Amino acid sequence: MQQVNLPYDPYNVIITGVGGQGNVMASRILGNMLSRKGLSVTIGETFGASQRGGSVMSHLRISAVSSWSPQIPKGQGHLVISLEPTEAMRVLVNYGNPAIKVLCNTRSIHAIGVISGEQQYPDLADIKAWVAELSEAAWFMDATEKAMELGNPILGNIMMIGAAAAIGVLPLDREDFEAAIAENLSLDKQELNLKAFNLGVGMVK
Amino acid sequence: MSPILDGQPGTRHLLMGNEAIARGALEAGVDVVAGYPGTPSSEIIETLARVSAQQNLYVEWSVNEKVAMEVAAAGSFAGLRSMCVMKQNGVNVGSDFLLHLAITGTRGGMVLVPCDDPGALSSANEGESRHFARMLEIPLLEPADFQEAKDLIKWAFELSEKIQNVVMVRSVTRLSHASGNVVFGDLPDLEKKAFFKHQGNILDPLQGPMSSLPVVFKHGRQQEKLKKVIAEFEVSAFNTYSGPRAPELLLITGSACYLYSKEAISLLGVEDRVGLLKLATTWPLPPQLMEKYLCTADKVLVVEEVIPFLEENVKIIAAELALKIGSKTFYGKREGSLPQTGEMNSDHVAAALSKILSVASEAVPEAYAARAKELSDAGAPGRDLTFCAGCPHRASFWTIHNTLQMDGREGFVCGDIGCYSLAILPTGFNTLKTLHAMGSGIGLASGFGMLAQFGMAQPVVAVVGDSTFFHAALPALINAIHHRSDITIVVLDNSGTAMTGFQSHPGLAVDATGNEASAIDVVNLCQAMGATVRVSDPFEPEKTRQTLLDLFEIKGLKVLVLKQMCALSPEKKAQKMFEVSVDQAVCIGQACGCNQLCTRIFKCPGLNWDKEHLVSRIDEVICVGCGMCASICPAGAIRKKEVA
């Protein structure tokens, strides 16, 4: 097992989005990839009542030393992978700090309060500015749009994993991604997911 | 390829807590597994069902938790190892049988795995199964991490056989639904034969009939078993201590709270001041072990979730040992350092530690926190719980709600547990007016329907899901029919136990393992019992409304089965029935008299209000093509085209 150096130990990643965007799948794959590096990984997840349309969040605790609790303490996030712009804001208020990094998909999903007109959905330009202000580094990508070109909007989650690998803060290798999806997906789906991963890498480089 | 079965002994895997529990059962050589789906427990049986053929397991989704316990107990009585799995509410359902079983005892190892949901992340209460262990006088084990989730299950089977009684292993959402690393042990390779010995004397636990009689004698024998349990618990390696020899504060905890406590100690950097006693054997507590550690500190903090169960048990032991260990200052729930509701986390524990030890906890810079709060108020509009796009329940409640409005007699709907519970919220047009346990909507309706002699004239409707119909509704339905209660029952049949992930139920022709099963037909069943029965498709709102109005005119018990598969069903997924679009020439938005009916009231997530052009639009990523919104648009602006 090679020696792995993490910027922080534990390194805390939050994957957030809206029910139906493949949040849980993304956390499994990311966790699996890091576990393959010999790291201790704990993933905390909230699902069950998170029907499509609800906020969903996965907490990943990555450590070279020991296992950590499935809930990141307040203000202790290091990397946010957000599949929906306003969800990034929701995470930052609870887990943000001046050193946090954010990868954010730009495709909005309107809550029913917004659809009904009781609430306002902010302008994307504003969200981008706010996320940038509250983070050390932020990347925005049109993952869902690109995924629809591949034939399925759900692949946006895999593009975000590709992007997370590309920013280089964690030991996320393409080989580990291939091995992780081989455990869960059929061959034809693996090919499509690898394409999505590669596109994600390209989106932040 | 499933690592659950193929993973080699000694290899490390990233498993969900529920998968770790399943692997533990396999390593223990479990034979019979039964349960009823319920978040956060469902993946345990799903995981075992997938490998049942290779491992010669018998795995079933039982009709309800009481029957699941009986099915599992039958396996044990026949000498096999059996496991019974459910969420916390299930233990309430099964407790009638369980109280008998605990006195009767078991033969082959039998383990009961309830998964509690502190904080009610996906429940309608945060009740706890731990109290049943004390009430039933059976051993209670609580895993603190994923490795223990596997290992404790294996040990629980051995313990159960040692004392010939059922052992409870309690998990919580943050273990069951979280994932962590687990090192595998061996899988046994045993041929087993089931045989129920019953020819012996009634007092013979191994050869005689299984019963709690004579009660006082067998109850005494049950309590003797607990003494054996305590002896095992005293020396269990699953109870661990870390910290200084004489800490300023002894922190006693177990379950996921161990990880929170460990993290809080680390966050505050008080490793040299706090001793951390992690207990896996939380009832009955081993007194000698407790004495050893209670001696070391004058201050004691007990960290656990919801009601102070562990805290009270520790205090009983401390009172009994008072002369030996001296008086202690206790911190926790009764004293007020920790909340008695909601789930625990590292922040709660850190706050308690910081107060008790007078240390400051390092927080996020104040200016950052204030700015983040300010920005998120505008930048993160809340997401209320909602039915999914294309959910048949939205359509059903749309019609039930409108029909009751039209009827004008202030009729109301009684409900119970399922995705359709959300109908108490705006997504279901606030249609539900009572929400309790599974089947309770029909029981309440049965009662409401008998109140005519007191002048009650409101139409009474109860809704029930298809899985819940079999689980808990039948006795209430029979009660209502027998007493000629004047009510309308709506069965929301979406072809599966949808909320927990499409597990099978007795209305389907398939079982937990994918084998063919005998389906019980709801319509025939209700008709055979004497109810007036109609069937409709909730996506046909006009027909459904007329049917409901007709039923309201009939005296006695009426059943309307609204049949439409869940939008997320594996059989339906990704298959649109219709291409839906908004004809921009016809939708005149706010100029139309509808006052944005589709987005303001119906508010399916597949619709969007275009702020710029002031018209409705379809979100093609979210819309699943049910076509319901086309049926409700008064202007006919929403068009649906059948997908070939």
Tell me: the pLDDT tens digits for A73-101?
Answer: 999 999 999 999 999 999 999 999 999 99
- In this structure, the answer to whether residues B409 and B554 fall within a common structural domain is yes
- In this structure, the answer to whether residues B177 and B196 fall within a common structural domain is yes
Q: Do B381 and A114 touch (CB under 8 A)?
A: yes
Contact yes or no for B457/B409 (Cβ under 8 A): yes
Question: What residue numbers bound the domain in which A136 lies?
Answer: 11-204
Tokens at B355, concatenated: 């107060």
Rg (CA), chain B: 28
Is residue B484 a part of any domain in this protein?
Answer: yes
How many Å apart are CA B435 and CA B415, to the nearest integer?
A: 5
- In this structure, the answer to whether residues B262 and B223 fall within a common structural domain is no
Angle at B520 between CA B518 and CA B522, to 5 degrees: 160
Q: How many contacts does A have with B, using Cβ atoms within 8 A?
A: 202
ipTM of the complex: 0.95
CB atoms within 10 A of CB B593: 8
How many Å apart are CA B113 and CA B82, to the nearest integer?
A: 11
Is residue B444 a part of any domain in this protein?
Answer: yes
Nearest-by-CA chain A residue for B622: A109
Q: Do B180 and A67 touch (CB under 8 A)?
A: yes
Nearest-by-CA chain A residue for B602: A116
Q: Do A53 and B388 touch (CB under 8 A)?
A: yes
Query: What residues of chain A lie within 8 A of the CB of B419, using their CB?
Result: 51
- In this structure, the answer to whether residues B88 and B167 fall within a common structural domain is yes
How many Å apart are CA B228 and CA B244, to the nearest integer?
A: 31
Is residue A2 a part of any domain in this protein?
Answer: no
* Chain B residues 375-394 with CB within 8 Å of chain A: 375-376, 378-389, 391
Q: How big, in percent rounded to 5, are the helix, strand and coil portions of chain A? A: 45, 20, 40
Beta-carbon-side half-sphere exposure of residue B450 (alpha carbons within 13 Å): 11
Q: Quick check: A14 pLDDT over 80?
A: yes
* Chain B residues 574-633 with CB within 8 Å of chain A: 596, 599-601, 603-605, 607-609, 619, 621-622
Nearest-Cα distance to chain B for A33, in Å, is 10
Is residue B367 a part of any domain in this protein?
Answer: no
Q: Do B345 and A130 touch (CB under 8 A)?
A: no
Beta strands in A19-151 (DSSP E): 40-45, 55-63, 79-82, 101-105, 137-141
Q: Look at strands A79-82 and B179-183 and give their pairing.
A: unpaired
Question: Based on the structure, what is the number of domains in chain A?
Answer: 1
How many Å apart are CA B26 and CA B5, to the nearest integer?
A: 8
Is residue A1 a part of any domain in this protein?
Answer: no
Percent of chain B whose predicted confidence (pLDDT) is above 90: 90
Nearest-Cα distance to chain A for B459, in Å, is 30
Is residue B494 a part of any domain in this protein?
Answer: yes
- The SS3 of residue B150 is helix
Query: What residues of chain A lie within 8 A of the CB of B386, using their CB?
Result: 51-54, 111-112
Nearest-Cα distance to chain A for B477, in Å, is 28
- For chain B, list residues with pLDDT below 70: 1, 573-574
Question: Based on the structure, what is the number of domains in chain B?
Answer: 4
Question: Is residue B572 less than 8 Å (CB to CB) from chain A?
Answer: no
Residues in chain B: 644
Is residue B265 a part of any domain in this protein?
Answer: yes
Nearest neighbour of A49 by CB, restricted to B121, B260, B371: B121
Q: What is the pLDDT of residues A104-146, one digit of tens each?
A: 999 999 988 999 888 999 999 999 999 999 999 999 999 999 9
Q: What CATH number has the domain bearing residue A35?
A: 3.40.920.10
Q: B584 burial class (0-12, 13-18, 19+ CB within 10 angstroms)?
A: middle
- In this structure, the answer to whether residues B205 and B64 fall within a common structural domain is yes
Q: What CATH number has the domain bearing residue B599?
A: 3.30.70.20
Enclosing H/E stretch for B92 = helix B88-104
Percent of chain A whose predicted confidence (pLDDT) is above 90: 81
Last residue of a domain, one of B338, B357, B376: B357
- In this structure, the answer to whether residues B123 and B191 fall within a common structural domain is yes
* Chain B residues 169-208 with CB within 8 Å of chain A: 173-175, 177-181
Nearest neighbour of B178 by CB, restricted to A42, A55, A144: A42
Nearest-Cα distance to chain A for B462, in Å, is 22
Is residue B410 a part of any domain in this protein?
Answer: yes
Nearest-Cα distance to chain A for B54, in Å, is 19
Nearest-by-CA chain A residue for B605: A112
Torsion over CA: B124, B130, B131, B137 (sign): positive
- In this structure, the answer to whether residues B222 and B113 fall within a common structural domain is yes
Q: Most B CBs within 10 Å: which of A42, A115, A155, as the mutation test of the B interface?
A: A115
Q: How confident is the model at residue A1 (pLDDT cuts 50, 70, 90)?
A: very low
* Residue B84, pLDDT score: 98
- In this structure, the answer to whether residues B603 and B525 fall within a common structural domain is no
How many Å apart are CA B610 and CA B478, to the nearest integer?
A: 50
Query: What residues of chain B lie within 8 A of the CB of A183, using their CB?
Result: 1, 3
Q: Do B384 and A112 touch (CB under 8 A)?
A: yes
Question: What residue numbers bound the domain in which B508 lies?
Answer: 392-563
- In this structure, the answer to whether residues B138 and B159 fall within a common structural domain is yes
Q: How confident is the model at residue A3 (pLDDT cuts 50, 70, 90)?
A: low
Nearest-Cα distance to chain A for B277, in Å, is 17
Phi-psi region for residue B619, left (φ > 0), alpha (ψ -120 to 50) or beta?
beta
* Chain B residues 414-453 with CB within 8 Å of chain A: 419, 422, 426-427
* Residue B499, pLDDT score: 86
Query: Of A62, A56, A60, whose CA–CA distance to A44 is shortest?
Result: A60
